[in-house]
Amino acid sequence: MKKYILALDQGTTSSRAILFDHQGRILGSAAQEFPQYFPQPGWVEHDPDEIWHSQLAVARKVLLDHHIESNQILAIGIANQRETTVVWDRATGEAIAPAIVWQDRRTADTCEALRAAGKAKKITDITGLELDAYFSATKLQWLLDHVPGARERARKGELAFGTVDSWLVFKLTGEHVTDVSNASRTMLFNIHLMRWDIDLLHLFDIPEEMLPTVVSSSEEVGTTRASLFGAAIPVAGIAGDQQAATFGQACLKPGMAKNTYGTGCFMLMQLGGHPVASHNRLLTTVGWRVDGATGYLLEGSVFMGGATVQWLRDGLGIIAKSSDVEALAASVPDSGGVFMVPAFVGLGAPHWDPYARGSLTGLSRGSNRAHIARAALEAIAYQSAELMAAMQKDVEASHRSLPLIEMRADGGAARNDLLMQFQADLLGVPVLRPQVTETTALGAAYLAGLAVGFWDSQEEIAAQWACERRFEPAMGPDQRAALLERWARAVERSKS
């Protein structure tokens, strides 16, 4: 009887379940969207029960559709949307309020007050994170302040806090845990000592009694209730989605990097067992802990990646569907001097300018919609090149030698050959697109499979990674430098 690993990929807009075999190949998958709630401007919420029921439904569906018995599943791995905050009653297992999603900005003023009080540096030194409403700490503080009696109940041990991984594990097994990668995104976790930080708990007035136990990313943390799938299955792998994707891309040696080209872009570089403090406003985060060894990552994010192409479709109407952009952009040899800075919601790393706005520069009478489409695609690559430059500066400042030799790409926009080639040109290193692009789920599967002996080692996993296409840089250094200089001028004109 063949054995498989079941990966649960719980994302911001949908829940997915994917079955992987021993070769890391996909046997089958199922997906289900769930509602998004926007009760006030800047607020984004999920119903925790809808997250749970959608995730359970797709897990059951993929087993049923492919006639897989529960005893054929050696383990379950979980990858999840990060930072989203859930509080529930330990006794009943019911959430006490809607989940506050990572995109939610309701606590921005709290963060500004903490910054004004001089707390930002301490928070960054302890957690590796920017002081921002993005992370879980101020979201949890808000729930404790606004749900009647919540903080007192939390002090009595009646309430549990968790990110989405914790919520799913609790519903699956009854255990209250989180892995190190998710803990490192809460803004409450000391990434150097690998434990919850008492000073930060006091700063945000969060009772320690409600926090989950921190576990490794690859270990058996419990077994599912037999009623869910017909038999108890070990839950043995947990990681935040971007860390899971990095593991799934087999970026397992220091200096290896991946970029996920989705709605935004997330670039992460493997640092090995020692964190690097960022002086360029990137994030230092825990990647995973496997067999007692912790891996750290540098992370940078671009707000507008594939979303820039969606704007061409929905805002300008110059393409009918997103996939049309490549042919339109390829109909001209270059952007004709046109630069698009897609700062529609401000600029992310390394600029962090919330007041920047989108701009088109370099337009002439000869400019047409193809030049604009090409400039939009190139903007994704320019922003990603800025992240890599910031990472290289941080690494050099730490006096460590981590030369970038290639970039591994995944996400929907990574299917765009023109974009991938331009990215390789700007980075000056090859860009590699893998055969298996479901890297987030694959990373969760690998972490779970390692824990139960389905795979023997990280070396075996690295050997399974296969390249579908390799894009070699074809641009000379002088042309690259000139383009990046013009991009930098365009960005300056978009700021503030």
The answer to whether 175 and 221 are in contact (CB under 8 A) is: yes
Is 241 assigned a ligand-binding role in the annotation? yes
Is 280 assigned a ligand-binding role in the annotation? no
- Residues near 35 by Cβ (< 8 Å), separated by ≥ 6? 46, 47, 50
CA 393, CA 457: separation in Å to the nearest integer?
Answer: 32
- Residues near 76 by Cβ (< 8 Å), separated by ≥ 6? 5, 6, 7, 8, 59, 172, 224, 233, 234, 235, 236, 237, 448
The answer to whether 179 and 216 are in contact (CB under 8 A) is: yes
Is 479 assigned a ligand-binding role in the annotation? no
Is 310 assigned a ligand-binding role in the annotation? yes
Is 416 assigned a ligand-binding role in the annotation? yes
CA 166, CA 51: separation in Å to the nearest integer?
Answer: 12
Is 306 assigned a ligand-binding role in the annotation? yes
- Residues near 436 by Cβ (< 8 Å), separated by ≥ 6? 24, 25, 26, 248, 442, 466
Determine if residue 418 is left, alpha or beta; phi over 0 gives left, psi from -120 to 50 gives alpha, anything else beta.
Answer: alpha
Residue 103 φ then ψ, to 5°:
-75, -15
> Around Cβ 430, how many Cβ atoms within 10 Å?
16
Is 374 assigned a ligand-binding role in the annotation? no
Measured CA to CA in angstroms, residue 133 lies from 113, 371, 405 at distances of 12, 37, 34
SS3 173: helix
CA 178, CA 78: separation in Å to the nearest integer?
Answer: 11
The answer to whether 274 and 258 are in contact (CB under 8 A) is: no
CA 433, CA 418: separation in Å to the nearest integer?
Answer: 13
The first and second tokens of residue 10, run together, are: 């719980």
Measured CA to CA in angstroms, residue 273 lies from 81, 296, 359, 378, 394 at distances of 24, 6, 41, 34, 16
Look up residue 344 and give its DSSP letter.
B
E strands present in 183-243: 189-190, 195-196, 213-215, 218-223, 234-240
Measured CA to CA in angstroms, residue 456 lies from 108, 272, 291, 452, 466 at distances of 45, 20, 12, 9, 18
Is 346 assigned a ligand-binding role in the annotation? no
The first and second tokens of residue 114, run together, are: 């903490």
SS3 261: strand
Chain-centroid distance, C-alpha 165: 13
Inter-helix orientation angle 241-248/439-451, to 10°: 80
Is 284 assigned a ligand-binding role in the annotation? no
CA 374, CA 340: separation in Å to the nearest integer?
Answer: 9
**Cα 332-337-341 angle, rounded to 5 deg:** 105
Binding site for sn-glycerol 3-phosphate: which residues? 12, 82-83, 134, 241
Binding site for ADP: which residues? 12, 16, 263, 306, 412, 416
Binding site for glycerol: which residues? 82-83, 134, 241-242
Binding site for ATP: which residues? 12-14, 263, 306, 310, 412
Binding site: which residues? 12-14, 16, 82-83, 134, 241-242, 263, 306, 310, 412, 416
